Amino acid sequence: MKNSKIIFWSITVALGGFLFGFDTAVISGAEQSIERLWDLSVLEHGLTVSIALIGTVVGAMLGGWPSDAWGRKKTLFWIAALYLFSALGSALAPEWYSFMVFRFIGGLGVGASSVAAPMYISEIPPAEKRGKMVGLFQFNIVLGILIAYFSNYLLADIGSSAWRWMLGVEVIPAITFLVLVMFVPKSPRWLVVKRGRVEEARQVLQIINPATAETSLKAIIASGEDEMQKQSVDSLFTRKYRFPVMLAITFAAFNQLSGINAIIYYAPRVFEMSGLEKSSALLSSPNAKAKARILICHCPNWVRISQSRVGAI
């Protein structure tokens, strides 16, 4: 790729994936302290852990609307603001109800970023580089999970307010994302298809690759016209799209039904109940996926966790 700006733009937007993973996993180090602090019941505790996941569902369902109405860039800016607001609010929450609200807001950011960020990344690079650039988002999700576990381990012994620092440290990547996203351009496809601002799109495409700018612009205009025609006659749930839609839904369902979210949320607790000390449990959490099968087979307490904690989700 000739233009390093494309890499910078893609990496910047892929930070939404990093925050996705970080926000998802960071609660694992705080959930036990929160349970004791506010004396939560099993149902309340399960809801506390899963409220961000509920927000994620809502954010994913609604994330496409602002991406089309306001643009990918502006949507990503407000997603970064949601992450920042959620991190600060969760860390400073005085009681359980406000904590739940802030965690839900973070979930909205997670869900919306899972729609807006890959959409933007796929529309910026040349066609032959799109898969690699979109892969950055997926890579950053896993990296965010890893860094969240490692951050929890480093902050675990700083006192009774350690859980607040665990959640509050998300402010750092959130601010970074908020600032950097202001330096990325608007999507040329959105400019043409949704706003008809061809000249602005041409300027962005000139930055990406001057030699192919006009060809790319004509392709975007043509695809936009085709898209408008298909929207009037085609539906996603017609026989034509039945098989790919079924595959997409099935893959997503298997990913969730495998129970990996339970491992991500409760990994330190699971490792503690298997006999590890707290610090060792936090340090072992980054390998939770690899060790999940071993724990399920050898830790009898896993059954109780599944029934009481995870079941409350």
Domain CATH code at residue 95: 1.20.1250.20
Looking at the structure, tell me whether residues 175 and 91 fall in a common domain: yes
- pLDDT of residue 189 exceeding 80, the answer is yes
Whether 52 is in a domain gets the answer yes
Residue 107 has a pLDDT of 94
pTM to 2 decimals? 0.81
Residue 149 is assigned to a structural domain of this protein:
yes
- The reply to whether 177 and 249 lie within a common domain is no
Q: Specify the range with the lowest mean pLDDT, choosing from 258-267, 270-279, 297-306.
A: 297-306
Do 144 and 249 belong together in one domain?
no
Q: What is the DSSP string of the chain?
A: ---HHHHHHHHHHHHHHHHHHHHHHTHHHHHHHHHHHTT--HHHHHHHHHHHHHHHHHHHHHTHHHHHHT-HHHHHHHHHHHHHHHHHHHHH-SSHHHHHHHHHHHHHHHHHHHHHHHHHHHHSS-GGGHHHHHHHHHHHHHHHHHHHHHHHHHHTTS-TTHHHHHHHTTHHHHHHHHHHGGGSPPPHHHHHHTT--HHHHHHHHHHH-GGGHHHHHHHHHHHHHHHHHHHHH--TTSGGGHHHHHHHHHHHHHHHHTTHHHHHHHHHHHHHHTT--HHHHHHHGGGHHHHHHHHHHH-THHHHHHHHTGGG-
Q: What percent of the chain has pLDDT over 70?
A: 82
Of 184, 199, 216, which one is at a domain's C-terminal end? 184
In this predicted structure, the answer to whether residue 200 has a pLDDT above a threshold of 80 is: yes
Q: Which of the listed residues 137, 164, 184 is the one where a domain comes to its end?
A: 184
- Least confident piece of the model among 101-115, 158-172, 179-193, 260-274: 260-274
Contact 16, 116 (CB under 8 A): yes
Looking at the chain, the whole-number percentage of residues with pLDDT higher than 90 is 45
Residues 119 and 259 in one domain: no
- 254, 169: one domain: no
Looking at the structure of the chain, the number of domains it has is 2
pLDDT confidence bin for 235, thresholds 50/70/90: low
State the pLDDT at residue 210. 84
Residues 174 and 249 in one domain: no
**Is residue 76, in this structure, part of any structural domain at all?**
yes
| Domain that residue 249 falls in | 241-312
Look at residue 221 and tell me if it is in a domain: no
| Residue 59 confidence (pLDDT) | 94
Average pLDDT, the chain: 82
Residue 288, pLDDT > 50, answer: no
For residue 228, name the pLDDT band (cuts at 50, 70, 90): low
